[in-house]
Amino acid sequence: MHKNYVGRFAPSPSGQLHFGSLITAVASYLDAKRYDGKWLVRMEDIDEPRCIEGIDADILTSLEKHNLLWDDEVIYQSQQHSRYQDTLDQLVGQQRAYFCTCTRKQIKAMGGQYSGVCRDKDYTNSTPDTALRLKLDATLQGFDDLIMERFDVATSELKAEDVVLKRRDGLFSYNLVVVLDDVFQKVTHVIRGCDLIDVTPLQQAVYRALDFAPVNYGHVPVAAIAPGRKLSKQNRATPINNETPKENLVKAMRFLGFSFPDAAEFDSTSELLQHAVSVWDRKKVVKMPEIIVPQHESTYYSEPL
Ligand code: GLU
Ligand code: ZN
């Protein structure tokens, strides 16, 4: 096994696996296996109110039915709180993070971007209604995406605001936990959907501010029901049919831009996956941020809302 490659698939258990999430699972799996790496699964259930009980097991079953078998134990963000909190306590102790009481309305009055006014105030953990923010002084940087190639930050967005690490409601922020978990799990390559390409420069800034070296990123096209509307639980993505794994995988490969034999050409899912690993080539993935999928992938159009 390649010691220098650890990849991962990080679904949020707020809805079953659908064609859109299968794409990311397949792409991250194939990239990892192509480079003899490990492929991990992490349940991103940090936003617990949005998660549905049992969906994690459902997602894992779907992955298994597609022979997308993960290495090592699945980690759950909901069980990592004390590790996250330890990091926050350390950052506060080092004065690299600070408490902020600004409301959304106040931030809007600052022109929409947080000005950092609370940096020099002595709020503490016990001040009511505080968020915790990271001091971010460096400007955001563009990066070379493994799949989409160069991604540049718009000049107007170079200066990042001090990112929220823990929200006023006590929830750890996604931009914090995704970084801490990728570091904790020794992830080296993040292959995920293009809907997250815009936040990558910010996440890389968080890595640097915490003295970690950023990892490699590759973003694949997102399946959408209409321009700008990613296939998701909110627009009722049809759950993946676990009875037709070979067909689903072929569809995923063709979506990603590969010419791929029909499912009937393969005796088993594992044989099909082996072939997929052998043809996987980052350069061949379609360089489009989103691709509109047929309407049957979502019941959004056929059922009254
Ligand atoms: N949990 C995120 C999602 O389901 C993915 C985060 C990531 O891959 O970095 O959209
Ligand atoms: Zn503030």
| Closest ligand 1 atom to 9 CA | 8
pLDDT at 48: 80
Compute the distance from residue 267 Cα to the ligand 1 centre, in Å: 32
Whose CA is closest to atom 6 on ligand 1?
10
Quote the CA–CA distance of 268 and 265 in Å, as a whole number. 9
pLDDT digits (tens, 9 = 90+) for 214-255: 899 999 999 998 899 898 888 888 999 999 999 999 999 999
304 pLDDT above the threshold of 50: no
* 50: in domain: yes
* 13: in domain: yes
Position 176 confidence tier, pLDDT thresholds 50, 70, 90: very high
pLDDT at 302: 52
Ligand sitting nearest the alpha carbon of 101: 2
Compute the distance from residue 230 Cα to the ligand 1 centre, in Å: 13
Domain range for 193 is: 6-79+176-301
The answer to which of 47-56, 74-83, 153-162, 294-303 has the lowest mean pLDDT is: 294-303
- Domain count of the fold of the chain: 1
CB 305 within 8 A of CB 238: no
pLDDT digits (tens, 9 = 90+) for 21-65: 999 999 999 999 999 999 999 999 998 888 889 999 999 999 999
CB neighbours of residue 130 within 10 Å? 19
Q: Give the amino acid at 4.
A: N
How many residues make up the chain in this entry?
305
2 pLDDT above the threshold of 90: no
Ligand sitting nearest the alpha carbon of 200: 1
Looking at per-residue confidence, does 48 or 283 come out higher?
A: 283
Q: Would you call 125 helix, strand, or coil by DSSP?
A: coil
* 27: in domain: yes
137 pLDDT above the threshold of 60: yes
pLDDT digits (tens, 9 = 90+) for 90-103: 999 999 999 999 99
Ligand sitting nearest the alpha carbon of 203: 1
pLDDT digits (tens, 9 = 90+) for 147-168: 999 999 999 889 999 999 999 9
* 139: in domain: no
Buried/exposed code over 100-114 (b: 16+ C-beta within 10 A; e: otherwise)? bebeeeebeeeeeeb
* 181: in domain: yes
Compute the distance from residue 35 Cα to the ligand 1 centre, in Å: 22
CB 192 within 8 A of CB 220: yes
Compute the distance from residue 164 Cα to the ligand 2 centre, in Å: 10
Share the mean pLDDT of the chain.
93
* 135: in domain: no
- Spell out which residues line ligand 1, taking CB within 6 angstroms: 10-12, 44, 178, 192, 196
Compute the distance from residue 196 Cα to the ligand 1 centre, in Å: 8
pTM (two decimals):
0.94
pLDDT digits (tens, 9 = 90+) for 183-198: 999 999 999 999 999 9
* CATH, residue 60: 3.40.50.620
* 219: in domain: yes
* 215: in domain: yes
Secondary structure tally for the chain: helices H, strands E: 8, 13
153 φ, ψ to 5°?
-90, 135
